[in-house]
Amino acid sequence: MKPQTTQAEFRKKRAFLTALAAVLLCLGILPVLFPGGYSAWWRQAFSAVGLSDFSSVADGYPMSMHVLEVGKADSILVECQGKYLLVDGGTPDQAENVSRYLARRGVTTLDYVINTHPDSDHVGGLGGVIEEFSVDRYFMPQLPEKLIPSDFAYTNTMEALKKKQIPVEYLRGGDALNLGELSVQVLAPLSVLDITNNNSIVLMLTFGRTRFLLMGDAETEEESALLSSKQSLRADVLKVGHHGSKTSSTAAFLAAVRPQYAAVSVADSHYELPSREVMDRLNRFSATIGRTDVSGTLLYCSDGISVTYQTER
């Protein structure tokens, strides 16, 4: 039996591939070898060092959601029938990692980029991504001046948008988009609340009979507003709010969602996240919990009837 690659070996090999890709890009060799895109290169490179590109599983499904490993931050790629939505981009230092993953998936144009809210661990990497890829439309919540940050993470992204002449559009509860046959419903924000987290754009993605609920960093107050709105929150997959913090994912909220799968984007032993209380509540609802600090990037694929779950390691 072939021995399994350990987590340390996996990270070492992935780091080697990353460095090799960077060198080839700098030398101008990679585009010459693969003028049609880099996804084929990544798959051959992974194979050459004894790894499989697990994300290729998504090629067999019309719709997939990739919760990227970006530490205590969020970045989620949604694919549907050759169209692409990126929800958040992690911190500024994760821009390169996010861009590499998009390249692995063959992305050249992002149909939509949605920044759920402008905290640095959600907006920070988007500036670098916008510089590397074509973006058709960019969305964020409309916030009062007092909640708009002035840090590098936000201003760098705004400058990248301005440079490419991409207008900023605003989303609120009740809005809707389509990505191929994927319905993207905006459930929140329903009103302007006191802190940035509670103005997070909350998305319900529906493909066939499968549903994916993305909570951004919504805390108890925004969850309560959603429950009061009487909107259906039932979902097969829940992207857990605020990195599994105890500020979010109340029992009442989880009872309304009843997820089969729960995705937590978090760094290893960072800020004592995810919260033990939240993990216990998810376990009580028998959700299969995926954590990026443990399993790397999390992949959820839909055929319109059911969801298949796979992890990077």
CA distance 262 to 244: 10
Domain extents for the chain?
1-52, 57-311
Residue 275 Cα distances to 246, 252, 264, 283, angstroms: 6, 17, 11, 12
CA distance 232 to 230: 6
Q: Please state at what angle helix 7-27 crosses helix 39-48, rounded to 10 degrees.
A: 130
Residue 291's nearest CA partner among 279, 308, 307, 277 is: 279
Do residues 107 and 81 lie in contact, with contact meaning Cβ atoms separated by under 8 Å? Answer: no
pLDDT at residue 3 in the model: 46
Do residues 9 and 16 lie in contact, with contact meaning Cβ atoms separated by under 8 Å? Answer: no
pLDDT at residue 8 in the model: 53
pLDDT at residue 54 in the model: 87
Do residues 117 and 215 lie in contact, with contact meaning Cβ atoms separated by under 8 Å? Answer: no
User: Structure pTM?
Assistant: 0.85
pLDDT at residue 313 in the model: 85
Q: Is it true that the peptide bond before 62 is cis, omega within 30 degrees of 0?
A: no
Sign of the C-alpha dihedral, residues 161, 167, 173, 177? negative
pLDDT at residue 216 in the model: 97
CA distance 202 to 171: 10
Q: Quick one: tokens of 254?
A: 């989880």
pLDDT single digits (tens) 47-90: 454 445 889 999 999 999 999 999 999 999 999 999 999 999 99
pLDDT at residue 272 in the model: 80
Continuous segment of H or E residues that includes residue 83: strand 83-87
Q: Which CATH number fits domain 57-311: 3.50.50.60, 1.10.10.10, 1.10.3470.10, 3.60.15.10?
A: 3.60.15.10
Q: Quick one: tokens of 89?
A: 């981009």
Low-confidence ranges of the chain (pLDDT < 50): 1-5, 25-26, 30, 32, 35-37, 39-40, 42, 46-47, 49-51
**Alpha helices of the chain — where are they, by DSSP H?**
7-27, 29-33, 39-48, 95-104, 120-123, 126-132, 152-163, 220-228, 251-257, 276-284, 292-295
CB-based burial label for 119 (10 Å; 0-12, 13-18, 19+): buried
pLDDT at residue 37 in the model: 47
